[in-house]
Every structure is written in structure tokens, then in C-alpha cells.
Amino acid sequence: MSKNEQFVRFDKVDKSYDGKVLVVKDLNLDIAEGEFITMLGPSGSGKTTCLMMLAGFETPTNGEIFLETNPISNIPPHKRGIGMVFQNYALFPHMTVYENLAFPLKVRKIPKDEIDKKIDKALAMVSLSEFGQRMPAQLSGGQQQRVAVARALVFDPKVVLMDEPLGALDKNLRESMQYEIKHIHESIGVTVVYVTHDQGEALTMSNRIAVFNDGKVQQLSSPDKLYEEPVNSFVAEFIGENNTFVGEVKDIDKGQCKVKLENGTEILANPIRVKTKGEKTIVSLRPERAIIDPKENMQNQHKGKIEEVIYHGDHTRVRVNILGNSQFILKVPNSSARMDIKLGNEINIGWDSHDCRALDPK
């Protein structure tokens, strides 16, 4: 059976809280059945508002949201068949783990013997089978979050919404929970809509990512495409680390453009968002795409002076002053043949024009 590519659909959705300012603007977004989609963006970008409208805690000002082709804006939250996981766990402190999981099942009037089976299955899914009689206060933060995930899944919801669910956990626990949630999703295939401002989390977990800014989706792509092929300067800056040069297009020919930088030097770039000579542009280049001592045939080669060296275990982060940019970053892998990188040294740096993307000015 083919999956529904429009399992969840936002159709021309606007949201305003005061009748003047739109926090979500003309949102058109299709989410496929079984997909793990992340809404990613800075604070105030509209991502959480979208999640709350889908959950039923907010109502669209204009437009409609559909679930399995049914409009849901007038359906109360508890009748939408949607599970929710919040950052603060939202477990009932006076109930055991078992009772917390039983609650959404009792509300739906599921028979007692079926409740037991569903809870056993949900607890096994999050590796907490022995914890049914514990109180939330007797659990660690990571265990509480697993219970919250189990409770969202226990009644077999159509969609699970997760709002910054790992924000309260420490770094190592957060990373292990990312993989755990990803594996649960892969094993049961439920549709997940996830909200975060953490780009690493989004890249790790998602099938697709919708990058929000100023109430609009700036780009909707798979993680690799989002990172490798940002469509505008906001996405390039927001996803991963990025080197930028400001310049003006001097020439465009055969899928390549010549950009004159502020210091007068010309570089070759990939014309993504520029069409004509004379246009202002911000040129974007990922740190790992620039290399030291490049081969002779590499189109862009320039000398730079090492300003800072920071050891990061698997790589060394080198800050260089090059082409008038003193914040240019290189990431040099720490292999056994590691080159001698010293403060103050002058080095030759090169990069391919295809990796150097000429985008819109901000």
C-alpha cells in the first residue's frame, strides 16, 4: 500500500495573535505518512505556533489544516488522534509510570486487558519494562523523557508531535535520546512532527527539515541537501558553520560566476541566487570544503595567514585571515599525516567554485 504524501497538510495557513502581526504567513506544507519532519528555526520564527495549531491548542487565523484529508481546525485536541511530547515531560507526578501511560487509554475507554498489553509494548519500546510502578520523581531526566515518549505512543496515534523534547537534557544524554527516538520512529513508522532550534538535532533525526524564519518556510529539504545546497543566505548561516564573502557579480557564464569581493579580489562561484552582472551577493563556503595546499587545477587559490588554532580531537579548527575576511574557518582532519599548522604561518588555501555558492544579500 502506497503511503499518503499529504497525510498532514497546511493549506494557506496564517496565524496572528493580535490581528496585526502574522507570526505564520501563508504556510503551505505537506507531510507524508510515516515521515519524520522537523520544523527548525530561531525563536519567534513560527515553528512552535505551527505545531500548536496542528495539536489544536491554537486556531489558524486563515487557511486550514488537514489530517488524512479531513479539516481539523474545529476538532478539539483530544479528538485528533495526536500524541504530544513536551520539553518539561508533563508527567503526572502523583501517578506511577504505569498510571501515566494508562491515562490516555482510559480517556479513550480502552478495555483493561488491552490497556495492559499496550502499556507493556510501549514500555518495552523505550527500554523501561521494569519501571511501571515507579513514580516520576524516582526517575532520571532521560527516563522521564522516555516515559513521555511512551505515553505519546501508547494509544497508537496518527501523528506524534514533539516540542523541543530534549532541551532539558545534558549533551551526552540528549545525543543518545536523538538516536533512540530516531530508531523508535524507524521501527514503528508513525508520522512525527518535531520542533527544535538545534540544527545538529534536526540533521541527525529528520527525513526532511523545514527551516522557518519570519513566519515562512525558507527551505524544505532532506538534511544533506539543506546543508550542501542552501537556497539563501539565511539557511546557509543557520545550518552548520559557514564562511561568507560579500561582493558584486562581475560576470556569469556557463553555470559559473565571477564575484569581485570588497577587497578587490575576484573569485569564481556557483550562481545560486544571482542572475545578472552588477548584483550584490553573499558568497557562502562550508569550512570543510576549503583545503590547505590544494592541487594546481583548483579554481580558487589564495594565501591566508593563520590567526587561531584550536584542537578539537578529530579535527583542528583553524581561523585564517584571507581575502579581507579575518573570520575564515578551516576544519583540518587530524590524520596521522597531519600538516604542521602554526599561529602566524602563511598558507595557501583553495576551494572548488561549485562549493562556493553565490546567494542573495541579506
pTM: 0.89
pLDDT at residue 337 greater than cutoff 90: no
How many other CB atoms sit within 10 Å of the CB of residue 273? 17
Looking at residue 2, what DSSP letter applies?
A: P
| pLDDT for 297 | 81
Q: Lowest mean pLDDT: which of 55-64, 113-122, 168-177, 331-340?
A: 331-340
Q: Are 48 and 163 in contact (CB under 8 A)?
A: yes
Superfamily for 8-233? P-loop containing nucleotide triphosphate hydrolases (3.40.50.300)
Nearest 5°: the CA angle 69, 106, 96 is 120
Type of residue found at 334 = N
What pLDDT band is residue 338 in, cutting at 50, 70 and 90?
Answer: low
C-alpha cell read off for 327 = 573570520
- Of 219, 192, 189, 182, nearest in space to 31 by CA: 192
Q: How many CA atoms lie within 13 A of 332 on its CB side?
A: 27
Domain 241-359 has CATH 2.30.130.10: no
Q: Domain residue spans in the chain?
A: 8-233, 241-359
Q: 329: Cβ–Cβ under 8 A, 6 or more apart, which residues?
A: 241, 243, 287, 317, 318, 319, 320
Terminal C-alpha separation, the chain: 45
pLDDT at residue 319 greater than cutoff 50: yes
Q: Are 49 and 17 in contact (CB under 8 A)?
A: no
What pLDDT band is residue 1 in, cutting at 50, 70 and 90?
Answer: very low
Radius of gyration of the chain (CA): 24
Q: 194: Cβ–Cβ under 8 A, 6 or more apart, which residues?
A: 36, 37, 38, 39, 161, 162, 165, 202, 205, 206
pLDDT at residue 352 greater than cutoff 90: yes
Q: Are 169 and 143 in contact (CB under 8 A)?
A: no
- CA dist., res. 1 & res. 258, Å (int): 50
Q: How many CA atoms lie within 13 A of 33 on its CB side?
A: 12
Nearest 5°: the CA angle 250, 252, 256 is 115
pLDDT tens per residue across span 176-211: 999 999 999 999 999 999 999 999 999 999 999 999
